Amino acid sequence: MKSKAAILWEVGQPWSVEETELDDPHFGEVRVKLASSGLCHSDDHGKKGDLPTGLPIIGGHEGAGVVEAVGPGVRRLKEGDHVVMAFMPACGHCRWCAQGLSMLCDHGAIIMEGLPITDQIARVHARGQGLRTLSMLGTFAPYTVVHEDSCVKIDDDIPLEIASLVGCGVTTGFGAAVNRAQVKPGDTVVVVGTGGVGSSAVQGARIAGAETIVAVDPFEFRRDQAKVLGATHAVASMEEAMPLVTELTRGVMADKTIMTASLMTGDMLMPLMLLTRKGGRACLTSVASPTVLSADIVLVDLILSQKEIVGNVFGGCNPFSDIPRLLSLYKHGLLKLDELVTKTYPLEQVNEGYDDLLSGRIMRGMLTFD
């Protein structure tokens, strides 16, 4: 069928919205008619080459919509089902999925390639070429063909315009606090970078019972929004956070620190670790370029203060259990999602959406489709 999509043809170019030809779903796949797609910073990393992807590629990995057509061999979905597409697929059977670690599913090894799990043959075409799809989703398009392992069925009463947020950003941030940093009641938590992911870490920390949550972001709008979502204090930089956290904790420093800034570089580890107390834990969530091979750290402080540094992919979450759980928190008013979406855009304005994101004018931008 004819469709359209925002395509990245070369690193550094803007997203190009143009007509595409979309194949029917193959074995194990469904066609989803999208309602919305969040604008996550990771797509911009792909665009700038900080996070290399195969090209040409359709952007977008945070989408929700309705199953419109079902391919052969699909077992869990039917036409009309409402789904969130998770940026990390879960096969359910690999060594990691079998242990409840679906965020590490072996399928993840090929998500940056952006070609279908089953046969690595493109399902979308433009200018006579096969197109890849980011995270094997490509949600910057009104229609996409995806494997059912990427689709989590959700209740019909969850607004699809908002549900896409749990396909990446909210789940990653919430899980950064709850699963990876393991925030406990009474903790002092510092969240560095409070965009879509970081402000969800703020929410995760609040829901986990943190007493003090310090939001760190150079943009005033982001700091103010972080307070709406649960931050108790907000400052513009890690340097500014240092005397504040020292005072708030009487010199002990934060139990947990969470790095969710736009892009992590090696020099950002040292101030983060200095903000972390002895025996405390730092959770690294921001993407870093694969060319970064070293980071500043006082090694003896890490060792003799028994500090921990943990990584984080998809908030340490299992999409098939955690996405419905987070949407249930939303339904019960505990997890705020509506407050995260500052502005919606038609597909044609995807580049404007990213301009707004990068200049801190919005929290999460959202593409909406008819």
- Which of Zn ion, ligand NAD, none sits in contact with 193, Cβ below 5 to 8 A by type? ligand NAD
| C-beta of residue 216 within 8 angstroms of C-beta of residue 201 | no
**Omega before 56 cis (within 30°)?**
yes
| Residue 61 annotated to the active site | yes
Q: How far is the CB of 216 from ligand NAD (least distance, A)?
A: 5
CA atoms within 13 A on the CB side of 164: 30
Instruction: Give the span between the Cα atoms of 204 and 157, in whole angstroms.
Output: 23
Phi/psi of residue 230, nearest 5 degrees: 135, -5
Site for ligand NAD in 17-46 (CB under 6 A): 40-42, 45
| Residue 42 annotated to the active site | yes
Stretch that binds ligand NAD, among 7-15, 194-202, 291-299, 328-336 (CB under 6 A): 194-202
| Residue 45 annotated to the active site | yes
Decide if residue 180 touches ligand NAD (CB under 6 A): no
Q: How far is the CB of 53 from ligand NAD (least distance, A)?
A: 12
Q: How far is the CB of 14 from ligand NAD (least distance, A)?
A: 17
| C-beta of residue 174 within 8 angstroms of C-beta of residue 326 | yes
Other CB atoms within 10 Å distance of the CB of residue 238: 21
Site for ligand NAD in 263-302 (CB under 6 A): 263, 285-287
Q: How far is the CB of 77 from ligand NAD (least distance, A)?
A: 24
**Omega before 52 cis (within 30°)?**
no
Decide if residue 192 touches ligand NAD (CB under 6 A): yes
Q: What angle do CA 13, 16, 17 make, to 5 degrees?
A: 165
| Spatial strand order in the sheet of 188-192 | 233-235, 212-216, 188-192, 254-259, 276-284, 308-311
Stretch that binds ligand NAD, among 158-166, 186-194, 247-255, 299-307 (CB under 6 A): 186-194
- Give the one residue of 202, 261, 337, 366 binding ligand NAD; rule: CB under 6 A: 261
Which pairing describes strands 212-216 and 188-192: parallel, antiparallel, or unpaired? parallel
| C-beta of residue 182 within 8 angstroms of C-beta of residue 66 | no
| Residue 37 annotated to the active site | no
Q: How far is the CB of 59 from ligand NAD (least distance, A)?
A: 13
Instruction: Give the span between the Cα atoms of 297 and 228, in whole angstroms.
Output: 33
Decide if residue 260 touches ligand NAD (CB under 6 A): yes
Binding mask 217-246 for ligand NAD (x = CB under 6 A): xxx--x--------------xx--------
- Which of Zn ion, ligand NAD, none sits in contact with 286, Cβ below 5 to 8 A by type? ligand NAD
Decide if residue 262 touches ligand NAD (CB under 6 A): yes
Residue in the shown chain whose Cβ atom is closest to ligand NAD? 195
Buried b (16+ CB within 10 A) or exposed e, 99-124: eeebbbbebbeebbebbbbeeeebbb
- In terms of residues, how long is the chain? 370
Instruction: Give the span between the Cα atoms of 359 and 210, in whole angstroms.
Output: 29
Q: How far is the CB of 287 from ligand NAD (least distance, A)?
A: 4
| C-beta of residue 36 within 8 angstroms of C-beta of residue 164 | yes
State the catalytic residue, choosing from 42, 150, 199, 286: 42
Size of the site for ligand NAD (CB under 6 A): 33
| Residue 328 annotated to the active site | no
The closest alpha carbon to 60, from 366, 370, 320, 286, belongs to 366
- Which of Zn ion, ligand NAD, none sits in contact with 357, Cβ below 5 to 8 A by type? ligand NAD
Residue 129 neighbours by CB under 8 Å, 6+ apart: 56
Q: Where does this chain bind Zn ion (CB under 5 A)?
A: 40, 42, 91, 94, 97, 105, 168
Binding residues for ligand NAD, rule: CB under 6 A, are: 40-42, 45, 168-169, 172, 192-198, 216-219, 222, 237-238, 260-263, 285-287, 312-314, 357, 360
Task: Show which residues are catalytic.
Answer: 40, 42, 45, 61, 168
